[in-house]
Amino acid sequence: MRITTWNVNSIKQRLPHLLGFLEDARPDVVCLQELKCQDEAFPRADIEAAGYAVETLGQKAYNGVALLVRAPLAMSEIRRGLPGDAADEQARYIEALISGPETHPVRVASIYLPNGNPVDSPKYPYKLAFMERLRLHARALLQDEIAVVLAGDYNVIPEAADVADPEAWRSDALFLGTSRAAFRAILAEGYTDALRACDPRDGLYTFWDYQAGSWQRNAGIRIDHLLLSPHASDRLVSASVQKHLRGLDKPSDHVPVTAELAAG
């Protein structure tokens, strides 16, 4: 089972790239973030024509997450929204149990964590509160003894090895010590960073800003992650970054990251 996470930064703008990726790479599960559209505006027919079932949690102009699953896999037990704050209406979390005839079930979430900038605004406490809610939910998911994959744009640079220029990000919400500690706290519940488990090299980036020639200078950061529960990490075969998609015309500023799990 190949599971991909990709912040498309507007599904409307990136639909041709997504359809090309689905045709070329044929991932089994795709976790999308930053759809920037309401559910009714999502290009469901195009995705279904490509052979994928669709579940979305949209929001006008901002946020938005989706799960795409290729037949014969199917989704059930859909959860829209991260538990822990009934007043939180931002479209940042969708989860489903994914099963099929030739693989053990996997519970997969598509997550778009808050950016948190500026750090002296309410946005940063919201980011940390969201991460704490995610940690508690990640812990609860382990009780089912089912493989879990928490995939998405975490808006966290875990280590200095995950950023081309650490000093430039030192005071940014994505790289603050408190953000990184909150990320480690999720890992400490028993989760594995899939890409790092497979490739410890420096310079593995998933995001390049549109400004200041970041792509041309390879001044990237790694903020898109797939976190695997013990049952999922036992099945981990490989993980990789599809960096070439950043070089397309009118690309997302993020690229896909894919982990492959054995059938189990």
pTM of the model: 0.98
Output the six-digit token pair for 186: 């999720």
Nearest to 35 by CA among 16, 11, 13: 11
Shortest CA distance to 192 belongs to which of 161, 145, 233, 135? Answer: 233
DSSP assignment letter at 58: -
Q: Report the number of distinct structural domains present in the chain.
A: 1
What is the pLDDT, as a whole number, of residue 264? 76
Backbone angles phi, psi at 152, to 5 degrees: 160, -170
CATH code (residue 80): 3.60.10.10
Q: What is the pLDDT of residue 2?
A: 98
Buried b (16+ CB within 10 A) or exposed e, 113-136: bbbbbeeeeeebebbbebbebbbe
What is the full per-residue pLDDT of the chain (264 aa) written as tens digits? 999 999 999 999 999 999 999 999 999 999 999 999 999 999 999 999 999 999 999 999 999 999 999 999 999 999 999 999 999 999 999 999 999 998 999 999 999 999 999 999 999 999 999 999 999 999 999 999 999 999 999 999 999 999 999 999 999 999 999 999 999 999 999 999 999 999 999 999 999 999 989 999 999 999 999 999 999 999 999 999 999 999 999 999 999 999 999 997
User: Containing H/E element for 152?
Assistant: strand 147-153
pLDDT at 54: 99
Residue 72: partners with Cβ closer than 8 Å, 6 or more residues away: 100, 101
Residue 175's domain comprises: 2-261
Residue 33: predicted pLDDT: 99
Task: Return the bridge partners of 110, or none.
Answer: 94, 151
Give the count of beta carbons closer than 10 Å to the beta carbon of residue 41.
15
Choose among 53, 8, 12: nearest CA to 34: 8
**Integer CA distances (angstroms), 129 to 89, 111, 133, in order:** 14, 15, 6
How high is the pLDDT of residue 212? 87
CB 186 within 8 A of CB 143: no
